[in-house]
Structure 1
C-alpha cells in the first residue's frame, strides 16, 4: 500500500499557522483530531521554550473557540482545543483518506502522513489545492508489513537474541551463547543478525523526519531506499561491547 508524506505550507489565518510562525521554535503535535459539525476538536502537545506564551497566543486567536490546558510540565503543555477552521481535516474528509496521527507542525508547515491507493492520495492533493494549500511531496513509498521484512529464520533468531538479553545494555548474553541456544555456528549467527539489523535499521531510518531524499521522487507509489546504517559486533561479553505542488 503506498504511503506518502506531504509537507503542507499552511496559509495565514488558521491558528496553527499563525501561532507556529509566531513561535517558530515551538513544536506542535496533534495527538488526536476529530472533525465536528462546522468545527474540529483536537488534543495538541506543545513543546516550546516559552510554552506559556504559546498557550496564551492560542487563547487569543480568533479561530480557536476554546483552549483547555490538560497537563503541563517544563517546556511542554497538552492542550484540548476547538477550532472553526480545521483545513487539513476538511481536506482529508473530502478525499476519503484519513491523516495519520500524530501530526507534527512547525513554523507553519504540517508534516502529513497518509496511506492509501494512489487515486486517494492524488485526490487529497486536489482537495488541499481547493483549500488554497500548497505542499511538497517529501516521499512516496510502499508500506511494508514489518512481519514481511524478515524470513522466519531471521525473525526467530532476532526474538531469541532479544529474549536472552543480547541487545541489553550491558549484554546479558553473548553471541556465542545465542548461537548455541539456537544450535547454529557463531559465524552464521553473526551474519544472520547483521542482515536482520541492516533490514530493521533501514526501515526505521525511512520513517525518520527530515530525511534526505533521492532525486526524482514524484507522486507515484515508489520505494525510497534508506542509506545503509547498521553495525554488528561478533564479540563475546569480554570484547568492546521535493516535488512542489501549487494552485
Structure 2
C-alpha cells in the first residue's frame, strides 16, 4: 500500500506487528473496522495509531498480553473504497503486515478485473497470486458418479473398519468390480482435489505444478482449471 493510509504507515513502522481486520464497513467519506492487533509492544502500536492523522477514532475493546481488539474510524479506507467501486466485497478476515495486505475475493471475472483497475487508480500495487474457477460442488460429479459414491458411503465402504468390500458395492449396483473401482478412483480424485484447492494455506507451487506454468515476477497468474470433462459446470466465479 502507498504511504499515507494509517495501516500502511503504522504497519511499516512496526513490521513485527500483525493486523487482522475482522469486519469493515465503508461509508461515503470514512471507513469503520474492527481489527485484532498482535505485537510485542502493543501499547507503542496503539499510540502510533492514535497519533496518525488518518484515524479519527481508536477504541480498544479488549486487551491481552501482546494482543488488542480495536475499533477504528478512518478517513482513508483505500481497500474498502476499491472494493465498493468495483462492486466486489473483500473477504474477511484481512491480514496486513509491513504495509502489505493479503486480499481474497470471489466473483465474476469482470468484477475481479475491475477491482484491479480500482487498485491502480488508488495507487495500490498488487500481485495476483492465484486465480481459479470455483465449481459448484453439486456439479463436480456426474449423476452416475454421485449414485456410486452415495451407495459406497451407505454400504459402509468408507467406514473404518470397512463394513463392505468393493465387490459388494459393485454387486449392489449391478456393475463390474473393475468399473466400480475405476469410477470410485475418479470420484475420489475429483473430491480430494477440490477439497485441497479450498485449503487457505495451500502452497502456490502446487498450483503452478498443476497448471504446468510458471508465475512471473510481474504478477501474472496461473489458472488451475483442471476438472473432469464429464460433468457440466455452473456459471463461473473466480477466486483471486
Which residue pairs with 1:105 in the alignment? 96
Report if the CA contact (8 A) 2:33-2:72 is conserved. yes
Is residue 52 of structure 2 the alignment partner of residue 66 of structure 1? no
Quote the Cα distance in structure 2 between the aligned partners of 1:43 and 1:158. Answer: 46
Q: How does 1:83-162 map to 2 (within 5 A)?
A: 83-149=74-140, 152=146, 156=150
Quote the Cα distance in structure 1 between the aligned partners of 2:53 and 2:122. Answer: 19
How far off is 1:146 after superposition? 3.9
Quote the Cα distance in structure 1 between the aligned partners of 2:121 and 2:201. Answer: 29
Which residue pairs with 1:241 in the alignment? none
Is residue 162 of structure 2 the alignment partner of residue 176 of structure 1? yes
Segments of 5+ residues of structure 2 without an aligned counterpart are: 171-180, 209-213, 227-240
Is residue 7 of structure 2 the alignment partner of residue 21 of structure 1? no
- TM-score (norm. length: structure 1): 0.67
How far off is 1:158 after superposition? 9.4
How far off is 1:133 after superposition? 1.3
- TM-score (norm. length: structure 2): 0.69
Q: 1:55 to 1:184 in 2, by over 3 A?
A: farther
Q: 1:77 to 1:193 in 2, by over 3 A?
A: farther
Quote the Cα distance in structure 2 between the aligned partners of 1:153 and 1:24. Answer: 53
Q: Which has the larger radius of gyration?
A: 2
Give the number of equivalent residue pairs: 203
Quote the Cα distance in structure 2 between the aligned partners of 1:69 and 1:156. Answer: 50
Report if the CA contact (8 A) 2:130-2:222 is conserved. no
Is residue 201 of structure 2 the alignment partner of residue 208 of structure 1? yes
Quote the Cα distance in structure 2 between the aligned partners of 1:19 and 1:158. Answer: 55
Q: Which has the higher strand share?
A: 1
Quote the Cα distance in structure 2 between the aligned partners of 1:105 and 1:158. Answer: 45
